[in-house]
Amino acid sequence: MAHFTKANSVYEWLDQRLALTKLWKVLAAEYWVPKNINFLWAMGVVLMTMFTILVISGIFLLMYYKPDTKLAFDSVNYTIMQEVWYGWLWRHMHAVAASVVFLVIYIHMLTGIYYASYKRGREMIWISGMLLFVTFSAEAFSGYMLPWGQMSYWAAQVITNLFGGIPFIGDDLVIWIRGNFYVSDPTLTRFFMLHVFLMPIIIMMLIGFHFYSLRIPHVNNQEGEEIDFDAEAEKYKAGLKKESKVIPFWPVFISKDLFVLGVFMIFYFYLVFYHYDFAMDPINFDPANPMKTPPHIYPEWYFLWSYEVLRGFFFNVGPLSAMDMGLIAFGIANIIFFFLPWFDKNDEVAPAAKRGGFFIWFWLLVADMIVLTIWGKLPPTGFNAYIGYVAAVGFLALFAALPAVTARKKGLLSLVILVTLALYIAGYLEYTKALGNGIVIIALFAIFYLLFFLNPVFVKNRGGAQ
């Protein structure tokens, strides 16, 4: 047994047993963050706060919610909204936080992409962050089902049906996931369990892992400068605070974080009290009815871009049906960001503005995702179907082009652009019914997917300025 001496205070007594001083140093007081960062680096703390709000408001909703198809709708819309004191507050806080948490996640992700914070030793930060994106998506989807309104029901119907696209086991898998031939009581109770227990636990573990993955490579900075954290920390501790390039997380960095958080919370509570309706679709105030599809089904805004990739393909290509192609593209869209560190063939860590073609690539990606989001909400009829196709193919084309852009291979880049344009023209002819399921389109898609999958493997790394 370790040697213990008599403690002079409660803190000292605890410190002897739990090493509080050392723990605090490691986690906060001597956790070093670069000085040269802007408000975009505060998104992590904003996300952490939003997740905490979701957990706390969720606990209060959980006390009155009833996971039963006969009771769920009224327990939310009558009991919680009209009877429970401040029940409306928890519900609006929960719904609005669930929506804005995705806004902040997207800002957080795009910041990482813009400043190249996903490569040269920071790959695990990126991957754990993407795992969080996926688990948050599952959490949002399972939570959206719980009020058991029309949109809850039909979103569940459509999303669980997606698994039917998996070859051979698809149909049985859909029934297994639902626990019935259709979305019904067993489906609601199992997704309730996922939403209030399993997914939150996994998310908490992933958040811990995400923080841990930062420790060795450290936080990136605005210029992508490589900092000797130990040397800079020594300077700071020696009193050379001005010369040092780093600051401790506590109390220096956190004060900046808390300011950004404060501004964000004003925005958040403004939405909660005055514009909660944007997170509350009117169709979801009709109780779920398996016998009546709402005229137009769409997911919440944060899923619209991938939803539009799913339905962007409106014609068959040889043996591949429009639905299969949509499913393949949707599958790719959902995992492609994981591979960003390997699609980017440039080692250089610098903001996009200093990475040549990548700057254009970044803003094209943002623009394409905005187009996908807007058209994801519009009915896919008439010319909208073609725009959806252009944006969906464009999304995949951007990733197919990324290795060529970052390795500065102009020939390869021209090839990707030419094939993409040819696909646009072929799609337009298909839209106007001027072209049958021609061999040309099949060949074009074959080349396209070949470029997509083989590009990152064959294009050599281009070392950046060391």
Partner 1 sequence: MSMAQSRRDFLGMVFGGFAAAGGLAALYAMKRTWDPLPSVMAAGFTTVDLSPMKEGELRTVTWRGKPIFILKKPPEENCNHLPDETKKRLVKIGDSEYLVMIGLCTHLGCIPTWEPEKKIFHCACHGGEYDACGVNTFGPPPRPMDIPPFKIEGTKLVLGEEGPEYKKLVGKA
**Residue ranges in contact with partner 1 by CB under 8 A:** 154, 157-158, 161-162, 175-184, 186, 190, 290-297, 311, 313-314, 316, 321-324, 326, 379-381, 385
* Cβ closest to partner 1, residue 161 vs residue 213: 161
SS3 readout for 287-309: ECCCCCCCCCCCCCHHHHHHHHH
Minimum Å distance from CB 321 to partner 1? 4
* Cβ closest to partner 1, residue 322 vs residue 364: 322
Minimum Å distance from CB 121 to partner 1? 34
Name the phi and psi angles at 39, rounded to 5: -60, -20
- How far apart CA 343 and CA 166 sit, in angstroms, is 26
Minimum Å distance from CB 380 to partner 1? 5
DSSP per residue over 348-411, as a string? ----GGGSTHHHHHHHHHHHHHHHHHHHHHS---THHHHHHHHHHHHHHHHHHHHHHHHTT-HH
Taking alpha carbons only, the member of 143, 108, 98 closest to residue 128 is 108
State both tokens at 92. 């609006």
State both tokens at 429. 């002819």
* Cβ closest to partner 1, residue 110 vs residue 173: 173
In whole angstroms, what separates CA 253 from the centre of its chain?
25
Minimum Å distance from CB 325 to partner 1? 9
Taking alpha carbons only, the member of 393, 384, 387, 420 closest to residue 404 is 420
State both tokens at 360. 């254009």
* Cβ closest to partner 1, residue 328 vs residue 366: 328
Minimum Å distance from CB 164 to partner 1? 8
* Cβ closest to partner 1, residue 186 vs residue 463: 186
Minimum Å distance from CB 197 to partner 1? 15
* Cβ closest to partner 1, residue 93 vs residue 159: 159
